[in-house]
């Protein structure tokens, strides 16, 4: 097999972590017998300041000709906040209809969690964030802006189809990767996260579709429902109760940052923006970390984890599992997952994983 991968190193520490991800990707490819054809895309703050462009439509069209996209980070201290986030990241998600944001919350053995008395057996679940709707649609507006009569409206918007396709993906995921499927629990459980006690219109729809699809096509999946505020509490106090969570876009944005810190922080948390029928984009969840740029101090494991997810998604499961083991090996040699506290450089962490993948 040969895969065409679009690479967006992006801003700040993005290029440094992407380099380590690609180093591991090349080794995994030659070790397990596939090839990759990489196309580099110069997108991000520098390009914006040079040309005023964020993500041209012609590039979106080129992305469609690829098997996957690997993104480092966007966000530049000299560009107003929101320009690159919306112009590159959100534009790619929307234009390619990457309607799932898959963010596993798995504590790698050996990684420290800030939660007392919890380890990798307890912190072992996945969050499926709806990635195309909700408050991210940009619907709303401001009337009489700049006056004391200003009214601001930002709507939470979902269609039946958006909810249904997200829930279907989540049910399928629970069937394939739930705790029973992985041999670590009695059930495959899907929990819908919402706020049905306040957002009554919205959760009338989500709850109905959840029950309908579940009853009809996924009677083998155990269903649960939790309010999003209570979910935050449980993610800290008893994360072992979770298996697969499915959540609307904005709530998902918030709780996946909480999930990331419980799994060891932004240095290790990876995610995938998925269009199961199209082109998906994989990224470390952390941002561009400008203060660590060019210092060989940033943790590349999240980016390497994104490569692992990308290969899993492409069906290269042997390569993905080698990388997973390589990451665990690197963790056993590192002092910390925090930038500048790893006890070694960014490149040395990449070497540890790559060497393991080459030999392991
Ligand atoms: C994320 C980020 C983005 C989001 C921002 C940068 C637009 O926080 O990927 O979680 O809100 O989705
Ligand atoms: Mn976020």
Q: Write out the DSSP string of 181-229.
A: TTTSSS--EEEEEE-TTT-HHHHHHHHHHHHHHHHHH-TTSEEEEEEHH
pLDDT digit string, tens, across residues 174-213: 999 999 999 999 999 999 999 999 999 999 999 999 999 9
- Mean pLDDT of all residues belonging to the chain: 97
- Establish whether residue 255 lines the binding site of ligand 1, counting it when its CB lies within 6 angstroms of any ligand atom: no
Instruction: Check residue 286 and give its pLDDT.
Output: 87
Q: Which ligand is nearest to the CA of 103?
A: 1
Q: Please, are residues 283 and 72 in contact by the beta-carbon 8 Å criterion?
A: yes
pLDDT at 326: 98
Q: Any idea which ligand is nearest the CA of 131?
A: 1
Regarding the beta carbon of 46 and ligand 1, being less than 6 Å apart is answered no
Counting from 1 in the atom list of ligand 1, the atom nearest the Cα of 271 is 9
Write the CA distances from 27 to 17, 144, 320, integer angstroms. Answer: 16, 58, 12
Tell me what pLDDT residue 76 has: 95
Closest CA to 299 of 247, 341, 259, 244: 341
What is the number of the ligand 1 atom nearest to the C-alpha of 82? 7
Task: Say which ligand is closest to the CA of 249.
Answer: 1
The string of pLDDT tens digits covering residues 29-72 is 999 999 999 999 999 999 999 999 999 999 999 999 999 999 99
DSSP string, 42-60: --SHHHHHHHS-SS-HHHH
234 burial (CB, 10 Å; 0-12 / 13-18 / 19+) is middle
Q: Which of 309, 285, 320, 313 is nearest to 299 (CA)?
A: 285
Closest Cα to atom 5 of ligand 1: 85
Of all residues in the chain, the percent with pLDDT exceeding 70 is 100
Q: Whose CA is nearest to atom 3 of ligand 1?
A: 85
**CA separation for the pair 333, 126 (Å, rounded):** 26
Measured from the CB, is residue 89 less than 6 Å from ligand 1?
Answer: yes
Q: Which residues surround ligand 2, an ion (CB under 5 A)?
A: 253
Residue closest via CA to ligand 1's atom 10 equals 253
Determine which residue's CA is closest to atom 12 belonging to ligand 1: 253
> Which pLDDT band, with edges at 50, 70 and 90, does 138 fall under?
very high
- Taking only the tens place, the pLDDT of each residue in 167-184 is 999 999 999 999 999 999
**pLDDT for residue 324 is more than 80:** yes
State pLDDT tens for residues 265-319: 999 999 999 999 999 999 999 889 999 999 999 999 999 999 999 999 999 999 9
Q: Does ligand 1 come within 6 angstroms of the Cβ of 85?
A: yes
The pLDDT tens digits for 230-248 are: 999 999 999 999 999 999 9
Q: In this structure, are residues 102 and 252 in contact, taking their beta carbons and an 8 Å threshold?
A: no
Pairing mode of beta strands 124-130, 270-274: unpaired
- pLDDT of 18 strictly over 90: yes
Instruction: Count the residues in the chain.
Output: 360
Listed in sequence order, the residues at least 6 apart from 77 whose beta carbon sits closer than 8 Å to its beta carbon are: 290
Query: Is residue 84 scored above 80 in pLDDT?
Result: yes
The per-residue pLDDT for range 126-135, each reduced to its tens digit, is 999 999 999 9
At residue 95's C-alpha, the angle toward residues 90 and 101, to 5°, is 55
Instruction: Say yes or no: CB of residue 253 within 6 Å of ligand 1.
Output: yes
Contact at 8 Å (CB) between 124 and 111? no
Give the per-residue pLDDT at 360: 77
Q: Which ligand ends up closest to the CA of 129?
A: 1
Taking the C-alpha atoms of residue 186 and residue 68, their distance in angstroms, rounded to an integer, is: 34
Q: Whose CA is nearest to atom 7 of ligand 1?
A: 85
The share of the chain scoring above pLDDT 90, in percent, equals: 99
Q: Closest ligand 1 atom, CA of 287?
A: 6
Could you tell me the distance, in angstroms and rounded to a whole number, from the CA of residue 177 to the centre of ligand 1?
Answer: 25
């Amino acid at each position: 097999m040969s895969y065409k991968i679009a690479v967006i190193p992006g801003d700040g520490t993005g290029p440094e972590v992407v380099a380590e991800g690609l180093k591991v990707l090349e080794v995994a490819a030659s070790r397990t017998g596939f090839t990759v054809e990489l196309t580099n895309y110069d997108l991000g703050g520098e390009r914006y300041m040079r040309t005023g462009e964020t993500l041209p439509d012609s590039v979106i069209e080129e992305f469609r000709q690829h098997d996957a996209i690997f993104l480092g980070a966007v966000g530049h201290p000299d560009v107003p906040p929101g320009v690159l986030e919306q112009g590159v990241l959100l534009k790619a998600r929307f234009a390619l209809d990457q309607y799932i944001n898959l963010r596993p919350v798995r504590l790698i053995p050996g990684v420290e969690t800030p939660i007392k008395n919890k380890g990798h057996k307890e912190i072992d679940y996945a969050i499926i964030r709806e990635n195309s709707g909700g408050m991210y649609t940009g619907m709303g507006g401001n009337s009489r802006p700049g006056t004391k009569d200003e009214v601001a409206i930002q709507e939470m918007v979902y269609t039946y189809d958006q909810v249904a396709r997200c829930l279907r993906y989540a049910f399928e995921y629970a069937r394939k990767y739930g705790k029973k499927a992985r041999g670590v629990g009695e059930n495959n459980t899907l929990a819908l996260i919402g706020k049905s006690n306040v957002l009554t219109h919205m959760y009338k729809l989500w709850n109905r579709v959840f029950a309908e699809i579940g009853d009809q096509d996924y009677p083998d999946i155990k269903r649960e429902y939790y309010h999003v505020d209570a979910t935050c509490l449980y993610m800290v106090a008893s994360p072992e109760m979770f298996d697969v969570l499915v959540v609307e876009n904005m709530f998902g944005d918030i709780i996946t940052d909480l999930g990331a810190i419980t799994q060891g922080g932004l240095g290790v948390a990876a995610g995938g923006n998925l269009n199961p029928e199209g082109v998906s984009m994989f990224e470390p969840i952390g941002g561009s970390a400008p203060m660590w740029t060019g210092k060989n101090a940033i943790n590349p494991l999240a980016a390497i984890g994104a490569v692992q997810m990308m290969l899993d998604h492409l069906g290269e499961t042997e390569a993905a599992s080698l990388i997973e083991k390589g990451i665990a090996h690197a963790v056993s040699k590192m002092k910390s997952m925090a930038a500048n506290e790893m006890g070694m450089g960014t490149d040395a962490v990449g070497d540890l994983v790559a060497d393991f993948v080459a030999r392991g």
